[in-house]
A = this chain, B = another copy of it.
């Protein structure tokens, strides 16, 4: 039995195999893995596909907090250890593994390398959120979008040191707007300007080609390779 955490495959003792197998779920696009406020004593390992985590006001206004990509571990719990503080929704058809929190702790305990990777991924998540808060607070629309593109590029391991960097994001402009806290209208305009300026090209609105990494990085306010060190555990 193997699981992938971050970019690393771990072989898991047979004792855990049954629990892992029975935790596998296929979620069709648009369905929910767990919901804010509900009791949910699992961690969720993303095997395949994209999820978003969101948080809402009672009024219904909803903010996209983060994406869950293959290899990511979603930890929904708030301080009480049991109640989910976020809602996780499948952005594509998704395969996840729901692991009871207690079992996950046992696994971390029994597989030291897994614990190390887990800690690096938690640090990566914190770093990601901090970078994003910095840009929400002090960055303008272009900085926020440029950063979002770079972050996704790095997380998808698509970064190329030279020439054109290409990757696929299963996101509408509305989702990019949710992620960057901008209206779809403004996302559209800004990305249009990026294309005009020769920073990126798009195909089908979903395949992104970064054609001028240097200037996109400048706009984002961070060097792409530096960001990779901050948020990609396996580069150490």
B221 touches A85 (CB 8 A): no
**B80 & A235 in contact (Cβ 8 Å cutoff):** yes
B81 lies within 8 A of A236 (CB)? yes
Q: A85-B126, A122-B122 are in contact. Are A133 and B55 (CB under 8 A)?
A: yes
- Residue among B75, B79, B119, B236 making CB contact with A231, cutoff 8 Å: B79
User: Is the CB–CB distance between B79 and A127 below 8 Å?
Assistant: yes
Cβ of A85 to closest chain B Cβ, rounded Å = 4
In chain A, residues 193-236, which have Cβ atoms closer than 8 Å to a Cβ of chain B? 221, 229-233, 235-236
- B81 in contact with A120 (CB, 8 Å): yes
- Closest chain-B Cβ to A37's Cβ sits at a distance in Å of 9
Contacts of A181 in B (CB 8 A): 136-138
Most buried by B among A121, A178, A229: A229
Is the pair A133, B130 in contact by a Cβ cutoff of 8 Å?
no
Indicate if the CB atoms of B133 and A65 lie closer than 8 Å. Answer: yes
The stretch of A18-26, A56-64, A160-168 that contacts the partner chain = A56-64
Q: Is the CB of B63 within 8 A of A232?
A: no
- One of B80, B123, B137, B229 near A136 (C-beta < 8 A): B137
Q: Does A134 contact B (CB under 8 A)?
A: yes
- Interface positions of A (Cβ within 8 A of B): 55-59, 61-65, 75, 77-83, 85-86, 116, 119-127, 129-134, 136-139, 178, 181, 221, 229-233, 235-236
